[in-house]
A and B are shown apart, each in its own frame.
Chain A
Amino acid sequence: MIAGLPWTAWLLLIVSVGLGLSIVLVFYRTHRRNGASGSSGLEETG
């Protein structure tokens, strides 16, 4: 029991919020960087 809730409830709460938030943060950081690095973030690979 942590702060009145079973640990499984905390786990569900953390996953509910954390999973989506982590994915969108990685997406946001990637594309803001790409957008800011000029040429729409395009990278020549040969």
Chain B
Amino acid sequence: MASYTILGVFIAYLLVLLGLGLWGRRASHSVAGYYLAGKKLPSWVIAFSSNATGESGWLLLGLTGMGYLVGIHALWVVLGEVLGVTLGWVLVARPFKVYTDRYGAITVPDFLVARFRDKRHGLRFMSVFIILSMVVAYLAAQLVATGKAFETFLGMSYAGGVVLGAAITLFYTTVGGFKAVAYTDLVQGVLMAAGLTVLAVVGIGGAGGWLPLMDQLRAIDPALLMPMGEHGLSTPGVISALGFVGVGLAFLGVPQLLTRFMAAKDEQEIVSGSLIAVICIIIFDLGAVFAGMAGRALFPGLDDPETVMPLMSTDLFPAFLTGIFVVVVLGAIMSTVDSLLILASSAVVRDLVQKVFRPDFSELRLSRYGQVTTVLLGLFAIPFALAEVQVIFWFVLFAWSGLATAFAPVVLCALFWKRTTLAGALAGMAGGFLTTVIWVVAFKAQFYDLYEMLPGFFVGGALTILVSLFTKPPEGADEEFDSVKRVVGPAFGRRTVN
């Protein structure tokens, strides 16, 4: 009976997604329509969509597991993510929107190519390579999480779960394009925020209340209540905290989040969206960490801390609400998968086909190519997921870092330093990305597992600046930079016109 109830809730959710997919179809007959919903999205949609995309299944399963494993020490992730989201919206979003509107940009490589007058498409080719390689890894990991969620909650076979999850996401992403993706993200984001709040409150209540929970955690391990965790104020403790904070750096410039700023209706939607996005990420993160901590008191001794959220949802709630939690977990995963599919598809169709090889193709034809590419990319990732990658969240964090270190330092320099040059951007993009890969392969274990985001971001930024200092900025970029700066104005003061 219980499983029928869960299944019923899941089917209702599925119908909502399919409906949104069909509803978004009308907007997807042009390249800008298919990949950016015609740049007409309101604040609520871009805010929830960017957070739901950024967080993925990692929030529900990974961060709750982290709260379970290290307790209060996981708040360093909250600090990093809240600051990352805040600075992304406050500093990056408006100038990025102004630049991309001026250029008529649809993708992040569009922006970079126009900003640096890259006539040879070097930035475009490098961007496409990095996006495709990281997105396939990211997609495979998310599809693994989908398979496991279907297996755990609905009792399906793992392979069936992967294929069903991919089929649902592929349907609404292919048919409805970015509009369907953004609005399904809104639904999924609201469910994630509500689900995590309820899970944390009921979990703390289940442990007897706040004070009894703290007493139980202290009895299990006093380090669970200490900000620096089991290592204390030592080199490994500081490196662990820095790595956790570093997770948030990606919110300053991964392409799948930057496209949300591009898709906003106007600058005022970004201003309204900023507050919604920050409150939303606070609810997401605190809900996940405190739910995980409550789970540690309620279910001590789990072999795999990342199973604490499914366990709590099946043990503490009636079947109907368990069904909602199934939807929340799947929603978190799908909201990332759909955005990655659209991102990779835009890299192929907009950045390669339309801008390099066949600029003569019609908009309608290119949007159809976009739909076919989306399906092919999804089908390409499925075999990797069926091989069952064991370390889901290691993979997710690696791909998250790979995309961020390649794009964020270059985008930040492009927006805030007029001397940035094409050579600097190429060096920074390649350097940031390669450092992430090399750090994981050769150095990570020797440096207390320092998260690859930090060295990658540092090298990417340093190379962009250093190479730019020895090369010539693009023609006209100086005046353009000043003009954008005047239009955007300061983040915290009144605009002035001279």
Bound: A15/B5 CA distance, A: 42
Contact, CB under 8 Å: A20 / B82: yes
The chain B residue with its CB closest to the CB of A34 is: B494
* Contact A4–B226 (Cβ < 8 Å): no
Chain B residues closer than 8 Å to A46, beta-carbon distance:
498
For chain B, the count of residues having a C-beta within 8 Å of the partner chain is 39
Identify which of A5, A24, A34, A41 contacts B278 (C-beta below 8 A): A24
A8 interface neighbour in B213, B227, B493, B496, Cβ under 8 Å: B227
Question: Are B268 and A42 within 8 A (Cβ)?
Answer: no
**Cβ–Cβ contact B79 & A15, under 8 A:** yes
Q: What per-residue 1/0 map shows which CB atoms of B215-255 lie under 8 Å from chain A?
A: 10010000001110000000000000000000000000000
Contact A30 B75, CB 8 Å, known A5-B225, A19-B83:
no
- Bound state CA distance, A8 and B76, in angstroms? 12
In the complex, per-residue mask of B96-136: 1 if CB is within 8 Å of any chain A CB, else 0 = 00000000000000000000000000000000000000000
Partner-contacting stretch, out of B84-92, B148-156, B416-424: B84-92
Task: Kindly state the separation between the CA atoms of A3 and B209 in the bound complex, as whole angstroms.
Answer: 11
Contact A21 to B278, CB < 8 A, known contacts A9-B226, A40-B495, A42-B497: yes
Q: Is the CB of A43 within 8 A of B496?
A: yes
Contact check, B268 vs A35: say whether CB atoms are below 8 A apart: yes
- Dominant secondary structure at the A interface: helix
Question: Is the beta-carbon distance between A23 and B90 smaller than 8 angstroms?
Answer: yes
| A27 nearest CB across to chain B (Å) | 5
> Are B210 and A4 in touch, CB under 8 angstroms?
yes
Report B-chain residues with C-beta under 8 Å of the C-beta of A17.
78, 82, 282, 286
| Distance (whole angstroms) from the CB of B221 to the closest CB of chain A | 14
A-side interface residues, number (CB < 8 Å): 33
Q: Is the CB of A4 within 8 A of B211?
A: yes
Q: Which residues on the A side are within 8 Å of B498 (C-beta)?
A: 45-46
B72 within 8 A of A: yes
Q: Give min CB distance, B230 to chain A, whole Å.
A: 14
Known: A8-B227, A9-B225, A24-B278. A19 touches B82 (CB 8 A): yes
Please, which residues of chain A bring their CB within 8 A of the CB of B90? 23-24, 27
- CB distance A9 to B227 under 8 Å? yes
The docked-state distance in angstroms from the alpha carbon of A17 to that of B280 is: 11
- Whole-angstrom distance between the alpha carbons of A11 and B279 in the complex? 19
Q: Could you list which residues of chain B lie within 8 angstroms of chain A, going by C-beta atoms? A: 72, 75-76, 78-79, 82-83, 85-87, 89-90, 210-211, 213-215, 218, 225-227, 268, 271-272, 274-275, 278-279, 282, 286, 489, 491-498
Chain A residues in contact with chain B, CB under 8 A? 3-6, 8-9, 11-13, 15-17, 19-21, 23-28, 30-32, 34-35, 40-46
